[in-house]
């Protein structure tokens, strides 16, 4: 590969955002953009899977971009989307990781590289070969499913990463504990929060006819939207006169969408619930931002699935609070570090429509509490999850590893 650009940071993240999928991994894009503004010259490698059995696995690959070995400029960041063979069977994970490693290792001729930052555990494992070839530090950021649901599958492959990886970034204390339980040494773990650009969000709210409750999420079971629908049903049974005054807007798409729409009809909430699938809209991020600015209450009631799947630290909860919105969420994973119970919102137990309904009741009928929580929410995000602060911390981490020894 031509090395005239003198790239110094190699960022590894499959499913990096693109024109076709602008909502994917936006936090990684924000980091890459900020890194470049701090004097580094990052290059993103976004391994893009090739479907070995097109007729069998077609649905699992439809959101990926077309692979290319050319450098693509995506909103002032440089990215290559090289192909690799992916077999979407958990029992074949070893083969997929080997193919992923082979794909990443092709960039060993960039001798100006000083550090590799892999996002998600599997990409950390797959980056080990390149790390050895170039003899440079490797940071791996974890996000939740790689320490939860898929941890047992990855555990045999994590052994080498634990031994040879230089640093592991966890989003929360909960995730740090997951890493410790997997055998990662505490001396190599740093809690590093995702940050958001507070300049993108503000407190402006357009006066609306109806009280607006908002959820922004991938429509998957782990998000707990079914329990919010059940909670609204309970709330309207108790306060039938309020039914024509409240609208619940759900932004996102996913495999659970049809089931949620069916549940909405079954609970007779058709006139209250609006589904907005923004995933294929090129202005998807702006849609989310505007909806957050204009809602009265944000809800995300995630829970741990039977297979161990759980959240990390949902960015949407940070973004909603950055808009000065009170939140209802669950005592789940790293969420209590984002939403401060009875300070910036209300936390409830997982899978509890009754508790969610009572939380809605509490905030719906108390505007003063909503405004107070909203103000505290912005202050909390500004202090703990401000992108500028978190990026400065990341720059210090980079600097310390690059200049180590």
Give the count of domains, the chain.
2
* Residues 26 and 174 both lie in one domain: yes
Looking at the domain assignment, is residue 264 inside a domain?
A: yes
Looking at the domain assignment, is residue 258 inside a domain?
A: yes
* Residues 166 and 224 both lie in one domain: no
Q: Residue 397: give the domain boundaries.
A: 9-194+386-402
**Burial call 319-330: b when 16+ CB within 10 Å, e when fewer:** bbbbbbbbbbbb
Q: Do 216 and 291 meet the contact criterion of CB atoms below 8 Å apart?
A: yes
* Residues 379 and 239 both lie in one domain: yes
Structure-token pair, residue 283:
């202005």
* Residues 39 and 82 both lie in one domain: yes
Cβ atoms within 10 A of the Cβ of 201, count?
21
Looking at the domain assignment, is residue 1 inside a domain?
A: no
Nearest to 211 by CA among 165, 163, 246: 246
DSSP track, 257-286: HHHHHHHHHHTT-TTTEEEE--TT-TTHHH
- Assign 3-state DSSP to the chain and report helix, strand, coil percentages, each to 5: 45, 20, 40
* Residues 145 and 265 both lie in one domain: no
* Residues 78 and 163 both lie in one domain: yes
DSSP assignment, residue 200?
G
d(CA 380, CA 386): 9
* Residues 321 and 252 both lie in one domain: yes
d(CA 116, CA 312): 22
What sign does the CA torsion over 33, 38, 41, 42 have? negative
**C-alpha angle 176-400-9 in degrees, rounded to nearest 5:** 90
Torsion from C-alpha of 86, 28, 320, 261, nearest 10 degrees? -20
d(CA 158, CA 183): 9
Looking at the domain assignment, is residue 324 inside a domain?
A: yes
Name, in order, each residue with C-beta under 8 angstroms of 209's C-beta and a sequence gap of 6 or more.
none
Residue-wise pLDDT tens for the chain (405 aa)?
544 579 999 999 999 999 888 878 888 999 999 999 999 999 999 999 886 665 555 555 555 678 899 999 999 999 999 999 887 767 788 988 999 999 999 999 999 999 999 999 999 999 999 999 999 999 999 998 899 877 888 999 999 999 999 999 999 999 999 999 999 999 999 999 999 889 888 776 666 789 999 999 999 999 999 999 999 999 999 999 999 999 999 999 998 999 999 999 999 999 999 999 876 677 888 889 999 999 999 999 999 999 888 888 999 999 999 999 999 999 999 999 999 999 999 999 999 999 999 999 999 999 999 999 999 999 999 999 999 999 999 999 999 999 985
* Residues 397 and 280 both lie in one domain: no
Nearest to 292 by CA among 209, 221, 201, 378: 201
Looking at the domain assignment, is residue 2 inside a domain?
A: no
* Residues 222 and 280 both lie in one domain: yes
Looking at the domain assignment, is residue 4 inside a domain?
A: no
* Residues 127 and 204 both lie in one domain: no
């Amino acid at each position: 590969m031509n090395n005239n650009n003198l790239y110094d940071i190699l960022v590894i993240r499959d499913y990096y955002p693109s024109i076709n999928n602008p909502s994917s991994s936006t936090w990684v894009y924000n980091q890459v953009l900020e890194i470049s503004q701090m004097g580094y010259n990052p290059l993103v490698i976004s391994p893009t899977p090739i479907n070995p059995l097109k007729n069998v696995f077609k649905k699992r690959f439809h959101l990926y971009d077309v692979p290319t070995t050319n450098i693509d400029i995506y909103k002032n960041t440089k990215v290559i989307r090289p192909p690799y063979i992916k077999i979407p069977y958990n029992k074949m994970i070893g083969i997929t990781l080997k193919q992923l490693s082979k794909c990443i290792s092709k960039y060993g001729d960039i001798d100006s590289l000083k550090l590799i930052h892999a996002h998600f555990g599997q990409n950390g494992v797959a980056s080990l070969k390149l790390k050895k070839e170039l003899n440079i530090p490797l940071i791996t950021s974890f996000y939740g499913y790689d320490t939860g649901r898929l941890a047992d599958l990855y555990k045999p492959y994590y052994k080498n990463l634990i031994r040879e990886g230089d640093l592991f970034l966890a989003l929360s204390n909960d995730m740090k504990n997951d890493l410790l339980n997997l055998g990662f040494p505490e001396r190599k773990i740093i809690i590093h929060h995702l940050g958001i650009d507070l300049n993108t969000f503000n407190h402006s709210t357009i006066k609306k006819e109806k009280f607006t409750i908002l959820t922004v999420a991938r429509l998957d079971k782990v998000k707990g939207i079914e329990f919010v629908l059940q909670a609204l049903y309970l709330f309207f049974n108790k306060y039938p006169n309020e039914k024509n005054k409240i609208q619940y807007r759900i932004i996102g798409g996913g495999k659970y969408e049809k089931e949620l729409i069916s549940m909405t009809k079954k609970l007779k909430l058709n006139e209250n619930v609006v589904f907005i699938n923004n995933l294929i809209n090129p202005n998807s991020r702006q849609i989310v931002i505007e909806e957050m600015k204009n809602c009265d209450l944000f809800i995300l009631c995630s829970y741990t699935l039977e297979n161990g799947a759980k959240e990390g630290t949902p960015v949407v909860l940070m973004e909603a609070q950055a808009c000065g919105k009170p939140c209802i969420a669950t005592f789940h994973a790293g969420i209590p570090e984002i939403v401060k119970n009875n300070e910036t919102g209300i936390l409830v137990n997982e899978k509890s429509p009754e508790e969610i309904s009572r939380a809605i009741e509490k905030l719906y009928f108390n505007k003063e509490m909503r405004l107070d929580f909203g103000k505290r929410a912005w202050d909390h995000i500004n202090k703990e999850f401000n992108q500028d602060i978190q990026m400065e911390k990341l720059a210090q981490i980079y600097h310390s590893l690059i200049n180590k020894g």
